[in-house]
């Protein structure tokens, strides 16, 4: 069942990434990139890396894609501009992806049906509970110093941005 879900999410990621490359409308391209980011987060969840999945959703699908949408709306791109563009780079990208696919298929063909039995696997690796315990016990001083540094950067950015303070 896990393997079926992984292949389903992987197919969704690849299909939305291909749609991103060939989309004529920039808004649809960005929305398909958001779907790609969510499906990558789904793959992280299936690999028992919940922290990476949450960071993927918050940072990439949340913040960066909202920034892309904001820039797109500020630029006010017209549909007529896309038809003037050359499709050469898209075909080069598809050709490169095809070469990568051939390489991956060659690797899978070289691998025989060798079943690896994994014993003594710690299922707690990748859980946010273990990460939080490690972060707030062993690495509490660097964590607090990093938060003070980020706070200083935010205050500096506000002071630079506001000239009337």
CATH code, 71: 1.20.120.1200
Among the listed ranges 13-17, 48-52, 107-111, 117-121, which one has the minimum average pLDDT value?
117-121
Q: How far apart are CA 109 and CA 7, in angstroms?
A: 18
Task: Give residue 39's pLDDT.
Answer: 92
Q: Are residues 68 and 4 in the same domain?
A: yes
Answer whether residue 91 is part of any domain: no
65: nearest Cα among 95, 98, 91, 35: 35
Residues 6+ away with beta carbon under 8 Å from 35? 12, 16
pLDDT digits (tens, 9 = 90+) for 126-139: 677 777 888 888 88
Assigned domain for 115 exists: no
Boundary-marking domain end, from 17, 47, 78: 78
Residue 144 lies in a domain: yes
Q: Within 47-113, where are the H helices?
A: 50-55, 65-75, 79-83, 88-110
Mean pLDDT for the chain overall: 81
How is the chain split among helix, strand and coil, in percent rounded to 5?
A: 80, 0, 20
pLDDT > 70: percent of the chain: 81
Cβ distance 87 to 165 under 8 Å? no
From 51, 78, 105, give the residue that closes a domain. 78
Q: Does residue 106 sit within a domain?
A: no
- State the pTM of this model: 0.58
CA geometry: angle 34, 18, 6, nearest 5 deg: 70
**Residue 18 maps to a domain:** yes
Residue 151 has pLDDT above 70, yes or no: yes
Parent domain of 7? 1-78
């Amino acid at each position: 069942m896990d393997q079926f879900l992984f292949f389903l999410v992987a197919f969704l990621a690849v299909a939305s990434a291909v749609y991103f490359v060939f989309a004529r409308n920039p808004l649809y391209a960005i929305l398909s990139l958001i779907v790609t980011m969510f499906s990558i987060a789904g793959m992280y969840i299936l690999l028992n890396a919940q922290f990476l999945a949450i960071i993927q959703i918050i940072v990439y699908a949340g913040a960066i894609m909202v920034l892309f949408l904001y820039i797109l709306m500020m630029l006010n791109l017209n549909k007529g501009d896309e038809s003037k563009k050359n499709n050469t780079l898209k075909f080069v990208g598809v050709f490169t992806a095809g070469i990568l696919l051939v390489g991956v298929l060659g690797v899978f063909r070289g691998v025989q049906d060798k079943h690896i039995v994994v014993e003594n696997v710690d299922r707690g690796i990748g859980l946010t509970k273990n990460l939080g315990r490690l972060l707030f016990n062993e690495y509490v001083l660097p964590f607090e110093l990093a938060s003070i540094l980020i706070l200083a950067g935010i205050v500096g950015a506000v002071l630079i941005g506001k000239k009337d303070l």
